Structure 1
């Protein structure tokens, strides 16, 4: 901590707010690798004393970096530098394949594979009667041994044979393609909300932590819905990216 202290200087004559001076320099230390993922930081009171800042100023600086996904607060552990955030292009692809391509060591824990009655949203997406049986799949996806996503998918019953073993070995879309399902287009919506108690436990986040959400309905080349997904992702470890063009 002594060497870390010497790497940050606060200029009280500068017009730049003190919290931002500290946050910006700490961000540079994180992004340069001086403070690698997993590094634990002193509590805000100790840091405020070390840098001669008020506690509200230090709290604002740390929250700024938490909001940017560079730091994470964990009960009983304190504040830590998080692993590199996973950035994913918004496209019709499998998260497992994307992680594998980026050498992020994907792993899947299968929680559920069973027929269930379709609720209203699932029935509308898959164009089946509400209450009709569909195949429900729920998985916890890991990257570099850290949980990053809780994935819930529903498929028409009889479309493809899925088991916990085959789902643990790879991505759902890969299995669909191997079974002859030609994925063509998808409609999806991205949002955010707080984590429920169960989601926070599975994703190793605090209850109410911000999660990114994505709902997606995928269609085959005949325009038939073949999969409806409702996923949540840790906002501290994950982001969506897209390219837009001027018109």
Structure 2
């Protein structure tokens, strides 16, 4: 372990040490216990626990009752192109599945009505589904589609990725977007769907999706398990450069 500044609080030193372990170990690797860390750094067990729990809240570690604390595995949302959850999961070498919850044609909510420039008599397609990583539900996604572009779409048309279905059936899908992320308290209904605790925070995102010519195509609301996803953003790097990972834990709004 590299020498640390002796003036740093002990729990910060432990967090630095654990971050190094996380960076160099495989997901689901067990880390030293609170007692082991307390002995190693000559601190109280409470100080060691504080360091561990900070990283648990950041989504870098997870705990299993009676077994210990382990390194978390999270799927990166990579912004080298417009991401989709299906592509994110497949890129990570996992199996992506979705479960249809509803597919309806409804009167648009005010925000979607304004985004798509709809009249009072026009309706909007609402496609709600659960996204699974293997058999674990990781995101609840509600897409509102522009009826002027995709008015004939049926639930039976969608095989896997929504964007791939739109490209095949209509020749176009969103290629540009403004995504906004925030952290919110999870509702009991959403907690049940995502198999989360009602005390958990969830990552909520909104997407305004556009075609290449800037035509509004999709308005999306997503509720994302923060213990399964992180944001990975690159700026001015070529394909051979490593991409910095940005873990977004601060409960605030930011725009990408």
Pairwise TM-score range, normalised by the shorter structure:
0.7 to 0.9
Q: Quote the offset at 1:61 in angstroms.
A: 0.8
The alignment status of 1:85 with 2:77, answered yes or no, reads no
- Aligned twin of 1:3: none
| Cα offsets for 1:44-101 (capped at 9, x unmatched) | 6x67877664354133212221133222357x78864254211112342322123223
Contact 1:218 1:228 (8 Å CA) reproduced? yes
Local SS of the residue matching 1:179: helix
Q: Structure 2 residue aligned with 1:235, among 221, 226, 251?
A: 226
- Which of 42, 46, 65 is equivalent to 2:55? 65
Which residue of 2 is the match for residue 24 of structure 1?
A: 16
User: Quick one: structure 1 residues 166 and 39, their matched pair in 2 at CA, closer, same or farther if it must change by over 3 Å?
Assistant: farther
**SS at 2:170 equivalent:** coil
Q: How do residues 217-232 of structure 1 correspond to structure 2 at under 5 angstroms? A: 217-232=208-223
TM-score (norm: length of structure 1): 0.75
Q: Residue 59 and residue 237 in structure 1: after superposition, are their counterparts in 2 closer, same or farther (change >3 A)?
A: same
The more displaced of 115-124 and 54-63 is 54-63
Of 118, 137, 145, the residue aligned with 1:147 is 137
Residue deviations 1:178-206 (CA, integer Å, cap 9, x gap): 11242343233232222222222222322
Q: Select 2:198's aligned residue among 177, 200, 207.
A: 207
Is the 1:118–1:131 contact (alpha carbons within 8 Å) kept by the matching residues of 2?
A: no
Pair 1:114-2:104 in alignment: yes
Deviations 1:140-176 (A, max 9, x none): 112243322111101134534232x554x41111111
- TM score, norm. by length of structure 2: 0.73
User: Are residues 196 and 40 of structure 1, via their aligned partners in 2, closer, same or farther at CA, if it must alter by over 3 Å?
Assistant: farther
In angstroms, what is the RMSD of aligned CA positions? 3.3
Matched pairs, number = 230
Partners of 1:114 and 1:137 within 8 A in 2? yes
Deviation readout 1:105-163 (Å, 9 max, x if unpaired): 21112211122221112212222135742111111112243322111101134534232
Paired residues of 1:160 and 1:179 also in contact (CA < 8 A): no
Change (3 A) 1:123 1:38: farther
- Unpaired runs of 5+ residues, structure 1, are 1-7
After superposition, the C-alpha distances for 1:9-67 in whole angstroms (9 at most, x for unaligned) are xx9x9444322333333444444437x5175986x6x6787766435413321222113
Distance between the aligned counterparts of 2:109 and 2:76, measured in 1? 31
Whether contact under 8 Å (2:22, 2:71) holds in the other structure is: no
Partner of 1:162 in structure 2? 154
Query: 1:214 & 1:172 partners in 2: Cα distance?
Result: 17
- Given candidates 117, 120, 124, the residue that maps to 2:114 is 124
